[in-house]
A and B are shown apart, each in its own frame.
Chain A
Amino acid sequence: MRTYFLGAGLHTCLGKGVAANLAALRAPPALPSVQILPLGAEEQRVPVHLLADEPLDDIENRQMKVVDGVVREALTASGLSEADIRELAIFVGTSSLDISITEEVYQRELAAGLDAHPLTANSAMGNFTKLIRQRFGIRGPDYTVNTACTAAANALMYADAMIRAGKIKHALIIGLESFNRITALGFSSLGLLAPDGMRPFDKDRRGIALGEGCSAMVVGAEPKRENSFYLRGGANICDIFSITAANSDGSTVSGVIRDAMANAKIAKEDITAIKTHGTASLLNDEAESAGMKQVFEKMPPLCAIKPFIGHTFGACGLNELILFCGALEEGFLIATPGIGADENELGVVLTQERTPVAPGVFMLNYFGFGGNNTSLVIANAG
């Protein structure tokens, strides 16, 4: 039994809706905007790709408005009946969940001189899924997966497992990352922010730009059409080398890639192209390039998506999957002209021009804080 991708919704800095996002991918990546955040008596400048067409105001309602649009797009595209929607299982992949709202409430109460304390408005990790369930009349189980940057990819793997086990017919997977100050200033504290955009595997890479993104995808055991994408396999491991980065010798990256290929029952020669994690941080790109080189003597074409939308953290697993699949269905592999163009000490290069691609087998890699490494194998042929 396989888990097919039946319908998607997406809202990133590139646009509202999958079609708008795919259209924007045809142009080179744009630089992030800069948000100026007060910090005591000073200010911090934070590079961020904010959502298109969704001003950064009315924070307490903004997130749900975005999620509502994205989920509706996915449900409509999937063609599920009301009865099927009622039975859906929900898997949310996120690293920051609804912390943007929690921050806003706390700041408002502090400013008003109230007896303000963090997390008094909401502290329940399942509150977000409750709101989604109630809004869409869903009564299946819900799982909020919080494994940093691999969260939405892991959410997809669990949805797949439940479908293969025959426990559910369909699942709704949601990736969620909203701009919030803890994440912005936390990464600033770690010295990982790059003001000039993300340049994965590039000699001039300097780190990440934050990204906002919300995605939704309905999956199920029956394909909607010929050549529908499906999850062919995947793997998730815990890399106990460091809580902040994969082992830079590449051993754990190559390990999860090999595990994913074994799980998908494919050989390395079967892989048509790879979507890299590509955070453009010194350690991640070292570990990722070393790991890929250990597995592939002849490297498949590589692409990176974060230069377009920033790092959308726990949501990137689904945001990037939808963009990657969408571009492939339109017949091309995503290119980042001028980024990762030359083979430097890392020894890998990214696709520079939009390249025609036939249906095949593809890999998507994700690595997160907490030593969480995930590799997915998807296919739309065979």
Chain B
Amino acid sequence: MPGNTIYLRGIGNYYAPVEDKPAELKALVKEATGDAVRRVGRFIQMALVGAGRCVAGRKLPPETGVYFTSGRGDLEVTIEVMEELFRDGHPPKPLNFINTVSNAACFYVAKQFGLHGRSTFLGNSFFSFETALQLAMLDLELGDVKSALVGSVDIVVPPVELHRRRLKIAPETPVAEGAHWLWLSAEKGEGARGAVQAAEFFTGRDALIAWVAKQDLNANETLIAAGQFLSDADLAEIKKASGLTRDFAYRDSLSYYDSQSGAAVAAFLESKTGEVLLHVNADPDGRCAAFIIRK
């Protein structure tokens, strides 16, 4: 059972702070996938950009599973359908209605890359990226899948002041859009960038600390990254208990979006410090999540 090495064979990211209007994505979709994908909204476009950069022109095994997540889902299409229906008195346009199902993005990603394995969309408020990573790891470790494309997307729907209201974050908080995709495989293959050692959830901080103690993490080579919802006090307690002292402060440079944890993986692998990353996050109820990446 669990303990198998899961290799990181591809990484694709899109990140853009939004001050006024989000950037146009059509050209980026074409650049990332080689195709001009038509009649899709921003959420699906961003999924394709991130996944396309992750796949990077390679042919994935057709049975690759897609594990996709978001904190808010496709806000744009839901808002459009609701305004048309309730404000303007028009029925949903058929394609808009179909795209209100969050897994529509999974379909477009699977179709673009010729995949017909498992396909899952997961919503979660504070651990969205972690939930997709955890379930993909579970399937890989159990041998239920051999290859997995794991991704997250959160978009901004302008005006930005209204977006902040929807996110229930303070006025003036900088916001961003982000898509983060990983190609994970049970086989090392060519060009593996690293490995995911674990992805776990905990009922509280003490359970997390007990688990970290069993992970054989060398304090000299391991960096610890705090996810966006982990308090400084919790981070300090985890560091104290684990003996890990080296921070990987990727979150300080990012504006707000829900699935920010996904940004940590590429940032760590591209950094020149550390061999191992322990990423820890928490929600307001004190539940915790962690994952470990090895270069």
Q: Within the assembled complex, what's the spacing in Å between the Cα atoms of A236 and B66?
A: 11
Which of B25-33, B72-80, B249-257 lines the interface with chain A? Answer: B72-80
Q: Smallest CB–CB gap between A262 and chain B, Å?
A: 12
Judged by a CB distance under 8 angstroms, whether A181 is at the interface is yes
Check B138–A162 contact: CB distance below 8 A.
yes
B185 CB within 8 Å of chain A: no
Q: Which residues of chain B are near A19, meaning CB under 8 Å?
A: none
Interface presence of B237 (CB below 8 A): no
In the assembled complex, the CB of B279 is this many whole angstroms from the nearest CB of chain A, namely 16
Given contacts A44-B91, A165-B142, contact A126 B125 (CB under 8 A): yes
Q: Which of A4-12, A55-63, A239-247, A334-342 contacts B (4 or more CB under 8 A)?
A: A239-247
Taking the nearest CB of chain B, how far is it from the CB of A322, in angstroms? 22
Q: Is the CB of A125 within 8 A of B103?
A: no
Residues 355-369 of A, flagged 1 when their CB comes within 8 A of B and 0 if not, give 000000000000011
Q: A124-B125, A147-B119, A371-B110 are in contact. Are A190 and B94 (CB under 8 A)?
A: yes
List residues of chain B with CB within 8 A of the CB of A239.
Answer: 116
Give the contacts of B162-184 with A (CB-CB under 8 A).
Answer: 162, 165-167
Number of interface residues of B (CB under 8 A): 69
B212 interface residue per 8 A CB criterion: no
In contact, B123 and A146 (Cβ under 8 angstroms)? yes
Chain A residue nearest in CB terms to B119 = A238
Main SS at interface, chain A: mixed
Residues of A within 8 Å of B, CB-based: how many?
69
**Mostly helix, strand, loop or mixed at chain B's interface?**
mixed
Is A95's CB within 8 Å of the partner chain B? Answer: yes
Pairwise interchain contact B119-A370, C-beta atoms closer than 8 A: yes
Shortest CB distance B21–A (Å)? 17
The answer to whether residues A146 and B101 also contact, given A161-B142, A166-B1, A238-B115 and a CB cut-off of 8 A, is yes
B135 at the interface (CB under 8 A from A): yes
Residues of B within 8 A of A (CB): 1-2, 66, 70-73, 75, 78-79, 81-83, 85-94, 97-98, 100-104, 106-107, 110-111, 114-128, 131, 134-135, 138-139, 141-142, 144, 162, 165-167, 200-201, 203-204, 258, 285, 287, 289
Q: Give A contacts to B, CB under 8 Å.
A: 38-41, 44, 86-87, 95, 97, 99, 102-103, 106-107, 110, 116-120, 123-127, 129-130, 133-134, 139-148, 154, 158, 161-162, 164-167, 181-182, 185-190, 236-240, 243-244, 252, 263, 368-372
